[in-house]
Amino acid sequence: MIDDLNRLVADGAVLVLSGAGISTDSGIPDYRGPTSVPRSPMTYQAFVSAPKNRQRYWARSFVGWRRIATAAPNRSHAAVADLERAGLVEAVITQNVDGLHQAAGSSRVVDLHGALDRTICLDCGEVGSRVELDARLAQANPGFGADVLTVNPDGDVDLPDGLVAGFTVVPCQGCGGIIKPDVVFFGENVPKARVQECFDLLDSARALLVLGSSLTVFSGLRFVRRAASIGIPVAIVNDGPTRGDGFAAVRVDARLGDVLPRLCADLVTTQAR
């Protein structure tokens, strides 16, 4: 199947759809794969419904953000960027919110579920910097912190309730409204314009390459279904089964860190000759 994958990517015009599995080698666990941990993610409905829920989210995310902010791209991210520079990958749609594709050098990336390094006010709509918010939270919570072993893909960590209860949440500086990370929470819809941008990229692609996603969530699976329905071949590389396996022309069940660097070395070297 590796040879089939090589042949599919070698023809170029590939659209990549990446999931949490591509970032596990950067120290960020995924949701459902071998490195996943049981958790109950914050939902949009819970976040907007009660101040105590926002306090819990921001206290945990304040601690977890440091792991996300300092994570470095791994060799799988680098391989995708190299394939783009070689003219084989046209663009990346990522379900991740960690910004590691951009950090690795990929130039055309759609953050399907948003990005943790941005914030948005739910009242006035102002988009801000997570770095700036982090500084304000640090000032409002001097000495707040905890040792954590595991940070989830959305930057959340587990903290004792007693510690969370002492955390101070800061409002929007412009209007005093509710600040939310500029990411799509569970129970929240991806903006329609962003979804359409992804469909437009897919419609102009020759192949769809899914990397490190179980495709359990519909927001990613819909692109696989669309590709199959219009005759665009789908290749899936993932460690474990996915909901899209039945649509795949090429299926590689393996770790991305074992497959992508080899794929890149074979194809980029060939392109350079």
Question: What amino acid positions are annotated as catalytic residues?
Answer: 113
Q: Are 154 and 37 in contact (CB under 8 A)?
A: no
Tell which residue, 53, 99, 45, 49, has the closest CA to residue 77: 99
Cβ neighbours for 127, distance < 8 A, ≥ 6 positions apart = 118, 119, 120, 182
Tell which residue, 240, 242, 209, 250, has the closest CA to residue 3: 250
Q: In Å, what is the CA distance from 5 to each residue of 2, 28, 78, 230?
A: 5, 26, 18, 20
Radius of gyration of the chain (CA): 19
SS3 category, 53: helix
Interior angle at CA 89, CA 11 and CA 114, nearest 5: 150
Interior angle at CA 76, CA 75 and CA 80, nearest 5: 115
Sign of the alpha-carbon dihedral angle for 143, 144, 147, 153: negative
Residue type for position 186: F
- Phi and psi, residue 69, nearest 5°: -65, -30
Tokens 């290749």 -> residue: 235
